[in-house]
Structure 1
Amino acid sequence: MMVPMKLRALLAAGVIGLGAFSSVQAQQPAKPECIAPAQPGGGFDLTCRVALNGFLETGLLEQPMRTVYMPGGVGAVAYNHIVAQRPGDGNAIAAFSGGSLLNLAQGKFGKYSVDDVRWLAAIGSDYGVAIVRNDAPFTDLKSLMAAFKADPTKIVLGAGGSVGGQDWMKAALTARAADVDFRKMRFVAFEGGGEAMTALRGGHIQAYMGDAAEAYTMLEGGAPIRVLAVFNDKRLDGALADIPTAKEQGFDIEWPIIRGFYVGPKVSDEQYQWWVNAFEQLMKTPEFARLQKQQGLFPFNMAGAELDSYVKERVVQYRELADSFGLIKK
């Protein structure tokens, strides 16, 4: 069997052990694909891009991976598709984010819960940000908050997702920090970050409650935007290091975001472990570190049982947060 050149280099360098390599080879997916549960251009797309390019550059996958876009319900359509129609398909991995977990916590994925898939790997973390057009009158978060508090009807906030989703939560937390009743804020939900950015550019919304990774790629691409604040307890490194946190500007808003993948509930242990091993090996490579940084993600590398425990703990915490906004039906 031919071994890809890059994989031979990894073996020679000792990055991949021979035992792990044998196990990996035994369950190589024939037609690997990454399902991005939204339109192209948003956070799910960039999540798939890290895996696709990482496996391509390292040769850990013999067959090229493709991205399949499956918008609908901010992840619900893809989740239901995997569980109901492809539960044992080891070729398919699906992207998820902290927003997916928040929706699961509120029962927004229909009859399926956090226990109905196999949580595979986390490939980085992201953080919420407040974005406006670069010609907007708001030069910092304080000026946006002042206008928001003065007249909530004149500031339309928009993002991917529906009421109760992670982007709505960022908007609701922003309203709460501005002493505005979150029930009075004007929020427009879009199917993914790409549509929300189009609306911002067209002046249909005044602020986009997006993610740092998306903002990074937009700025790198020359998008006419201004990032007012990062929703983290400290400034981010790299290209966004000059963006102040919300806390620096007097507003207690934090919103960390995990990005990763899951597979169907009936994927065999051997196929599941193949993916776990593959991601663990990928995360050790310089190619992965570069791609992670290139997509604006911050290190949060986790796979297998450790990720499974983390995800289930987060869902409990998100349920408590959603309940504080009256989003959980009693």
Structure 2
Amino acid sequence: MMFQRLISAKLGAAIATATTLTLTAAPATAAECIAPSNPGGGWDFTCRTIGRILTELDLVNGNVQVTNMPGGVGAVTFAMVASERPADAELIVATSTVGITQIAQGRYPAPLDSMRYLAMLGADVGVIAVDDESPIQTLAELNEIMVNEPTSIVTAGSSGAGGWDHIRLLMVADAAGLTDLSDLRWVQFDGGTDAVTQMMGGQIDVVSTDMGEIAGFVESGDIRILAALSDEPIPAFPDIPTAASQGIDVTGYNWRGLYTGGDVTEEEYAAWVEKLETLYNSEEWQTAATESGLVPIWRGGAEFESFVRDQAQIMEDISRDIGIIE
């Protein structure tokens, strides 16, 4: 449980101490936002929602182009930006705890410092889900299976083995009493939407992902959420029980933010931070974030860059604790 306490403390501090940053900078120009995933996932939501609101608030010139570039849980996009567009001031890219975990485990083709990290605008809540027709009705029933028959079920999410979605499920299994975490079978998909689609088709038994990625499936009744990995119930889905309320003291937030190329100028970088802070404080973002199950949080500029580096170190430590890396 050491890694659970470590990550909960750090992310809890981020939520509790969110601050604002005021800058004076030149306006951002027309922009492109790359979502390193298929349509429908959390990174896709980040780009499409932020892109729409940037345009609505006249913070950029014209519409923001949204490009989906799945592959390697963000590695394909990261490599492209590092090699082809490091100084492109019109480009922003969605990232999150998931992406930083991959970097911390050495799974990206370039180091963390290849990019400039602009801002965090919210945190998604991790959830454990099953199909609406699954015989597993409660988290307690899932825990019993994971502890006593772990190889009998197939679990999945939008990260590889040892990624953030996987780690969150392992934290639940660890708290439930599973001694050999490697016994759980895990399948990776490029987005929570893809994982849920396969679960609905009968290929997967359990999905660990973010509420923001699969809220539509919850609203339609196609899936059932066994637990939200949050301190309090999700405001948009207050009837979903937290893991803590069911005796499993686990939280798993996935912050959502943006980066740009490492060679953009200080003026260009400051301009983006300023525009994103204005967006964050708008009614449009606060409403969109809350309705999608996000907890609004602001960290921008140098503060966010420092936070990302701290998070990468934490994820590296967690990964060693559970044997993902040496």
TM-score w.r.t. length of structure 2: 0.89
| 1:8 aligned partner | none
For 1:269-325, what per-residue CA distance to the aligned partner results, in whole angstroms no more than 9, with x for missing partners? 111111111111111211111121233211111211111111111111111111101
- Superposition CA RMSD, Å: 1.6
Q: How does 1:1-330 map to 2 (within 5 A)?
A: 20=24, 23-25=25-27, 28-30=28-30, 32-110=31-109, 112-180=110-178, 181-220=180-219, 222-237=220-235, 239-329=236-326
| 1:4 aligned partner | none
For 1:116-167, what per-residue CA distance to the aligned partner results, in whole angstroms no more than 9, with x for missing partners? 2100011110121101111212222001111222211211111112111111
Asked whether the equivalents of residues 215 and 227 of structure 1 are also in contact (C-alpha less than 8 Å), the reply is no
Matched residues in 1 for 2:325 and 2:198: separation? 29
Letter of the 1:277 partner, please give it.
E
Matched residues in 2 for 1:152 and 1:280: separation? 45
Give the aligned length: 304
Asked whether the equivalents of residues 125 and 293 of structure 2 are also in contact (C-alpha less than 8 Å), the reply is no
Matched residues in 1 for 2:139 and 2:217: separation? 19
Matched residues in 2 for 1:264 and 1:44: separation? 17
Asked whether the equivalents of residues 218 and 225 of structure 2 are also in contact (C-alpha less than 8 Å), the reply is no
| 2:4 aligned partner | none
Matched residues in 2 for 1:191 and 1:288: separation? 25
Matched residues in 2 for 1:148 and 1:164: separation? 17
| 2:3 aligned partner | none
The CA deviation at 1:106 is: 0.9
Asked whether the equivalents of residues 158 and 192 of structure 2 are also in contact (C-alpha less than 8 Å), the reply is yes
Letter of the 2:208 partner, please give it.
M
> What are structure 1's unaligned runs of at least 5 residues?
1-16
Asked whether the equivalents of residues 116 and 305 of structure 2 are also in contact (C-alpha less than 8 Å), the reply is yes
Structure with higher Rg: it is: 1
For 1:164-189, what per-residue CA distance to the aligned partner results, in whole angstroms no more than 9, with x for missing partners? 11111122223222322111111111
The CA deviation at 1:252 is: 2.5
TM-score w.r.t. length of structure 1: 0.88
Give aligned-pair identity as a percent: 35
